[in-house]
Amino acid sequence: MPTLARWTAIMAIMVLAGFGYALHFYQQHAYVSSFPPLHTDHHHAEHTEGEHAEHEDEHDDVQHEGTEHSTIMTSPLVKPLRSLEVENIPLVHLGWRLFNDPKLSSNGAVSCANCHHLDSHGSDPLPLSVGVGGLGERNSLTVFNVSNNHRFFWDGRALTLQDQMDGPVHHPKEMDSSWAEIVEYLSSSPEMEQAFAQANLDDIDEASVKLALTRFMEALITPPSDFDRYLLGDEQALTVAAKQGWQHFQELGCVVCHQGENIGGSMLQRFGYYNEDAIGTDLGRFNETGLESDRFVFRVPSLRNVAKTAPYFHDGTVTELEEAIRIMARVQLGIELDPLVVVELSAFLHSLNSQRPAILEVLENGG
Amino acid sequence: MAGKFSTLKMLLIFAISLCLLALGAADLKRRLAITYQSASVEIGHALLSERDRILAHQLDASVPALELSSSLVAIQLRAREAKQHLEGVIASSFGRLLFDEHQWHRIKQEFYDEAYLLLEEMENNTRLNVARTFLEHNIQNLLLAESGGEHTDVPMLTELFQQGAIETAEQNSQTLIRYVGLYNQLKQSQSDSNQIILGENLVRLIDENEHFWFDVVASSSSDVDLALALLLLMLFIYLLVDNRARLLLIGSTLAKLEQRTKEANAANEAKSLFLASMSHELRTPLNGVLGIAQVMASGECSAKQQREYLDVILESGNHLMSILNDILDFSKVEQNRLELEEVPFTLKALLAPIHSTFSSLVEEKHLALQFNVDVDDQYCYLGDAARLRQVVYNLLSNAIKFTERGEVHFSVSSGMMVGNKRALNFVIKDSGIGIPKDRLDSIFDPFVQAEGSTTRRFGGTGLGLAIVRRLIMMMNGEISVTSEPGVGSEFRFSVALPELPKEQLQQRSLDIQVLPQDLSILVVEDNRVNAMVMTKFCQRLGHRCSVVENGRLALEVLAERGFDVIIMDNHMPEMNGIDATRAIRQQLGLDTLIFACTADVFEQARDEFIDAGANHILTKPLQEAAFSEALALFSDRLPNNQDLPEPPTTTAQEPPQLTPANDSLADEQIFADNDALDDDEVRVESDAFDSGLLVDSGVLVDSEEQVESQVSEQANASDDNEPLPEDQLTWQVLMDIADQEADIALELAEAIVTSFDEYLGQLQPAFEQRDWELLHRIAHSIKGSAGNFALDYLSHCASEVVDAAISEALTEPQLQAFIALVERNRQVAQGLIDQHRQ
């Protein structure tokens, strides 16, 4: 039988240990969101609208300052690209190396860059890309400006870039690998270990690999296009045809779905309201959710650099931009476009072309 | 008591710790639940507000569809994150311990799964809305063209178109019909979707979820409160218990202190009582001593008177001694400093001295003493014989003391055998005054006698029975007393002692003070005075004694007959003690006990004696204690008296048959004649009570010194007035040595005068002839005599002369001083002779 004092000490240590464990448990499991707080006051419609109005006013003010008496057509739905300062160059460099590393795949031959060509426009000129297991199922989407999207993949099944990566890595037809294998490979390579160390990453694991790739893709913001310059007040940036095309783009209603900085890329929409015949056999989002309402639902793709990223649509069956424009008008708007309008729309879409992201030059020149 | 409390305290501390842990767990649960509650509230409210926005979008597309879509994405991401966290909690073992797993699974499943579905539905609703808007736009364009712009409301136009109110062109009609069909389809889908998102489902879901979390938070909060309350309760109980334990500790300490105080008070009282009774007890005999001494000091008295006075003083002194011994014994017993020995003894040996002691006493008081020993004498017993004897002695002496007439009965019987121990039952019964009933209980307490008046009538310290009881208790025995006043008392006690066959009795036991008696002792001593002293000494102890003058004569005597013990002096003419001893051992081959008796204090002389074959060394002047001890030590080599001694007869004492030789005390005449030796053997039956006389005499001499010195002064006043040395020969010393026989004392004094005369005659011539050997011998003889008669100063001077003679450095003045000193002592002895011859 221990003495009273010893017993008290034992109990005190037990209690302290218990409290310590409880504190640790709390820190681990208490729910603290990593996202900004949700706006729950939207139902105060007036306030929200007021806020919006204010924002728009500000926007207008900015534009008005530089371009008084201008004829620039602005829209609250489309915004110019924000430029990005890359802060952590070593981390982005690591992401770039990983992106280009074919050893991440099971057969050591397929890197991310295989299907997302960094030297051109971030996607694949082939209708369907070739991975480890042969041809893929859907057309490759560009990785440029990808971080401005809210949803990823053609069916929008991923909500974050990190989740998106799981797709191509595990897909048997694409890289046919797993994070465990990738981590094992990276850990066994002294070169990569050094690169991780340079990027200030202590561990080589799924999270750090994803972080590096995410930071790299976030850095892939293209330089301003003609249209961006136009939106920012340069009236001369667009040709007359392009300006006409922009006019049509808004009036026809294209902008209802293709909006935001990326002019598309986030919303979901059913493909082929007016003509289901043109759709093909891909059921789209239905394959993921199984909901009847998701049949033929796809993500609205971004139109940035669209003139460069042929072929078009999820199955890459259309190679001509103007054909694609006509199809979109037919199946989504239920109208047959006048050829001139198609040309003008095409001119507008060409004004969305831009150079490769500047960071790539830096990285290719050795960081 | 303390152990019980500390166990209780430990349990309480354990309970308090458990309460603390439970408190922590409940609080953890509460805090966790609060984070999930706020997350689900946020998500729920976001869902509601998003629904409102989507519904508003149907009427007025002021909010961009992209914003709605991205809001939905944000909500979905948030919900997914919260769900993953929750899954983490549910998956952890501690989380399962904290929470009701099934409930959590349910809320996870229902809330998040349905939230996902609702989010999908809202997304669907949004895109349906977009599509519908386009369709409306198209239909409107077509119909406006036809109807001339009267109506702008699309549903109205559609209605009108379907009723055929609007005429359309053939080509447009086909398109319109298809569009209106599509429109209605979309409308239907949208209203279905609206029903879903507007339905009870969302609100119910959010409500349920919020309630669930609210309940979890509330219940865990009440758990926290409960744990806190329990904790406080436990703490309170702990404090109560602690307080109680402390109070009890203080209480018991106080009780202990009180007990101690009581004991101290009792001891103090007893001491006061003791002092009171002691002062009386001690005063009485002291008065006897001092009073008589004063009487003796006050004037001359006859030898007979002196004898009577001395008897009184002796008696008083003995009484004092016994009182002091009692006190000493009692305090030893009281402080547990007394240790019992374990030595085998026989009952007979134990009782013999008691019997012999009391027989005479009983006879004096004309009482009958019955002595019954009913114990098998085949056995001996292991125990402290001396203490047991003391018990019997005390009880018997009490019985005799308090009995005026009638008889005293003593019996011992062996009782039950328990283990290897035999119970011995002692009964001492008298027909004395008895003890009143109310005093029986306290009779064994110290300083208590049956009555205060008892002390006055019979004396005694009141310690005897207390000692008896303590001793018996130490022996694990029992004592009891029954008594009737006026009829008599009966003390019974029994002790259980290990019983052994008699063969195991170790003969050499020192404690059994059954000294051999009636020994034949040969004293080899050249100094006539010393020889006389030793003879008396031995006779008093009940032995027969022969004296020879030197070693050679001793050898002659020993060749003819045997002795039990030989007491051998060292420095003797013709043949010294060491040589004689060696000769006895080697030439005669005798193993007779030889006690060497020497005044040499140096180890060397002793070693030489032991080497020569002496058994034991005694120191001069001979002490009874040392002699008895030596006898006891070698009692196994001495003839033992097997039977109880006959009751000693006080009448058997006869004056020693020393040949009186007033004019010439030639040694040869007395000692050299072997035939005469037999006649000289004197048997003296001594009383055990008086055996302490010689030892006590020192004390007595001191007390008598003043008296004696006055006497001497008177005696010497006529001779010269020069100051006397510090000590000188006294009559008392002579009387003691002579066993109170005045005649013998006179003889001794005469022997001193004669021998001193002889020495005085030899000293000067020997010095002049530088005969150191002779000087040495003479001085040594004087030293021996001086030692016997307690003349320390003379003895000291003599030993100085001896030393000087050995080193041949004796000076004329020193010798003259010594001669003067011897002369003075001779004169004193002569004075005593003159004084007492009448």
Whether residues B17 and A7 touch (CB distance < 8 A) is answered with no
Which residue on chain A is closest to B35 by alpha carbon?
Answer: A31
The alpha carbon torsion through A129, A130, A134, A138 (nearest 10 deg) reads -10
The yes-or-no verdict on residue A62 having pLDDT over 50 is: no
Contacts of B425 (CB under 8 A, 6+ apart): B412, B413, B414, B415, B492, B493, B494
Whether residues B20 and A15 touch (CB distance < 8 A) is answered with yes
Contact B42, B250 (CB under 8 A): no
Count of positions (residues) in chain B: 838
Q: Which two tokens stand for residue A122?
A: 């971030």
Q: Is B288 on the interface with A (CB under 8 A)?
A: no
**In Å, how far is A288's CA from the nearest CA of chain B?**
12
Query: Chain A partners of B16 at a C-beta cutoff of 8 Å?
Result: 11
The yes-or-no verdict on residue A268 having pLDDT over 80 is: yes
The conformational region for residue A122 under phi > 0 = left, psi -120 to 50 = alpha, else beta, is: left
Q: Is B95 on the interface with A (CB under 8 A)?
A: yes
Query: Chain A partners of B179 at a C-beta cutoff of 8 Å?
Result: 334
Query: Chain B partners of A2 at a C-beta cutoff of 8 Å?
Result: 10
Q: Is B134 on the interface with A (CB under 8 A)?
A: yes
Contact B580, B568 (CB under 8 A): yes
| Helix segments in B549-673, DSSP class H | 551-560, 577-586, 603-612, 624-633, 667
Q: Is B11 on the interface with A (CB under 8 A)?
A: no
Query: Chain B partners of A333 at a C-beta cutoff of 8 Å?
Result: 134, 138
**Res A40: pLDDT:** 56
**Residue B371 DSSP one-character state:** E
Q: Which two tokens stand for residue B527?
A: 């100094």
Whether residues B21 and A45 touch (CB distance < 8 A) is answered with no
**Res B676: pLDDT:** 36
Contact B371, B410 (CB under 8 A): yes
Q: Is B131 on the interface with A (CB under 8 A)?
A: yes
- CA angle B764/B770/B775 to nearest 5° reads 60
Give the 3-state secondary structure of residue B549: coil
Query: Chain A partners of B20 at a C-beta cutoff of 8 Å?
Result: 15, 18-19
Q: Is B751 on the interface with A (CB under 8 A)?
A: no
Which residue on chain B is closest to A148 by alpha carbon?
Answer: B70
Query: Chain A partners of B32 at a C-beta cutoff of 8 Å?
Result: 26, 29-31
What does B158-180 look like in DSSP terms, one character per residue?
Answer: HHHHHTT-S---HHHHHHHHHHH
Which residue on chain A is closest to B12 by alpha carbon?
Answer: A8
Whether residues A29 and B74 touch (CB distance < 8 A) is answered with no
Count of positions (residues) in chain A: 367
Whether residues B21 and A21 touch (CB distance < 8 A) is answered with no
The yes-or-no verdict on residue A85 having pLDDT over 80 is: yes
More confident site: B707 or A360: A360
**Res B15: pLDDT:** 92
Q: Which two tokens stand for residue B339?
A: 């240790």
Q: Is B282 on the interface with A (CB under 8 A)?
A: no
Whether residues A253 and B92 touch (CB distance < 8 A) is answered with no
Alpha-carbon distance B387 to B27, whole Å? Answer: 79
Alpha-carbon distance B686 to B798, whole Å? Answer: 34
No. of helices (H) and no. of strands (E), chain A: 15, 4
Query: B545, B619, B573, B579: which is closest to B788 by C-alpha?
Result: B619
List the beta strands (DSSP E) in A70-139.
130-131, 134-135
Q: Is B62 on the interface with A (CB under 8 A)?
A: yes
More confident site: B153 or A59: B153
Is it true that the peptide bond before B621 is cis, omega within 30 degrees of 0? yes
Q: Is B32 on the interface with A (CB under 8 A)?
A: yes
Residue to substitute from A1, A24, A40, A250, interface B, most B β-carbons within 10 A:
A40
Whether residues A14 and B17 touch (CB distance < 8 A) is answered with yes
Q: Which two tokens stand for residue B371?
A: 């002595």
- A-facing residues of B in 168-227 (CB < 8 A) are 179, 182, 189, 193
Q: How many CB atoms lie within 10 A of CB B264?
A: 10
Whether residues A39 and B32 touch (CB distance < 8 A) is answered with no
Whether residues A45 and B56 touch (CB distance < 8 A) is answered with yes
Query: A36, A259, A304, A40: which is closest to B126 by C-alpha?
Result: A259
More confident site: A121 or B510: A121
Burial of B831 per CB tally in 10 Å (0-12, 13-18, 19+) = buried
**In Å, how far is B203's CA from the nearest CA of chain A?**
15
The reply to whether ipTM tops 0.90 is no
**Res A292: pLDDT:** 84
Residue A69's pLDDT band (boundaries 50, 70, 90)?
A: very low
Query: Chain A partners of B6 at a C-beta cutoff of 8 Å?
Result: 3-4
For the segment A261-273, the average pLDDT, to the nearest whole number, is 88
Whether residues A289 and B120 touch (CB distance < 8 A) is answered with yes
Contact A283, A257 (CB under 8 A): no
Q: Which contiguous run of DSSP H or E holds residue B520?
A: strand B520-524
Query: Chain B partners of A11 at a C-beta cutoff of 8 Å?
Result: 13-14, 16-17
Whether residues B82 and A34 touch (CB distance < 8 A) is answered with no
- A-facing residues of B in 460-489 (CB < 8 A) are none
Whether residues A267 and B127 touch (CB distance < 8 A) is answered with yes
Closest partner CB to A266 (pick from B27, B69, B80): B69
**Res B446: pLDDT:** 66
Give yes or no: A68 in active site.
Answer: no
CA-atom Rg of chain A in angstroms: 25
Burial of B772 per CB tally in 10 Å (0-12, 13-18, 19+) = middle
Alpha-carbon distance B355 to B363, whole Å? Answer: 12
Closest partner CB to A33 (pick from B49, B78, B138): B78
Q: Which two tokens stand for residue B204?
A: 């119910």
Number of A to B CB contacts under 8 A, please give it: 171
More confident site: A60 or A24: A24
**In Å, how far is B45's CA from the nearest CA of chain A?**
6
What percent of chain A shows pLDDT beyond 90?
45
Whether residues A270 and B49 touch (CB distance < 8 A) is answered with no
Alpha-carbon distance B792 to A71, whole Å? Answer: 155
User: Contacts from A158-161 at CB under 8 Å and sequence distance 24+?
Assistant: A159/B73, A159/B76, A159/B77, A159/B80, A160/B77, A161/A213, A161/A214, A161/A217, A161/A218
**Res B686: pLDDT:** 35
Contact A145, A222 (CB under 8 A): yes
For the segment A233-243, the average pLDDT, to the nearest whole number, is 90
Closest partner CB to A266 (pick from B70, B78, B130): B70
Is it true that the peptide bond before A311 is cis, omega within 30 degrees of 0? yes
Q: Which contiguous run of DSSP H or E holds residue B719?
A: none
**Res A326: pLDDT:** 92
Q: How many CB atoms lie within 10 A of CB B278?
A: 18
Burial of B181 per CB tally in 10 Å (0-12, 13-18, 19+) = exposed
Query: Chain B partners of A7 at a C-beta cutoff of 8 Å?
Result: 10, 13-14
Q: Is B137 on the interface with A (CB under 8 A)?
A: yes
Instruction: Calculate the average pLDDT of chain A.
Output: 85
Query: Chain A partners of B182 at a C-beta cutoff of 8 Å?
Result: 273-274
How many angstroms from the chain centroid is the CA of residue A4?
A: 66
Q: Is B120 on the interface with A (CB under 8 A)?
A: yes
Closest partner CB to A256 (pick from B6, B16, B133): B133
Mean pLDDT for back-to-back runs of 10 residues, chain B (838 residues): 78 92 92 89 88 85 82 89 86 82 77 85 88 81 67 68 67 76 86 86 84 89 93 93 91 94 83 70 75 78 80 77 72 67 79 78 82 82 83 85 84 84 89 80 65 50 77 87 86 88 55 63 80 77 81 84 83 80 83 77 68 78 70 70 40 37 37 37 36 35 39 40 54 74 79 82 81 81 78 80 79 82 83 78
The yes-or-no verdict on residue A60 having pLDDT over 60 is: no
**Res B231: pLDDT:** 93
pTM above 0.95, yes or no: no
Backbone angles phi, psi at B426, to 5 degrees: -110, 135
Whether residues B69 and A293 touch (CB distance < 8 A) is answered with no
Contacts of B803 (CB under 8 A, 6+ apart): none
Instruction: Find the catalytic residue in A46, A51, A174, A292.
Output: A174
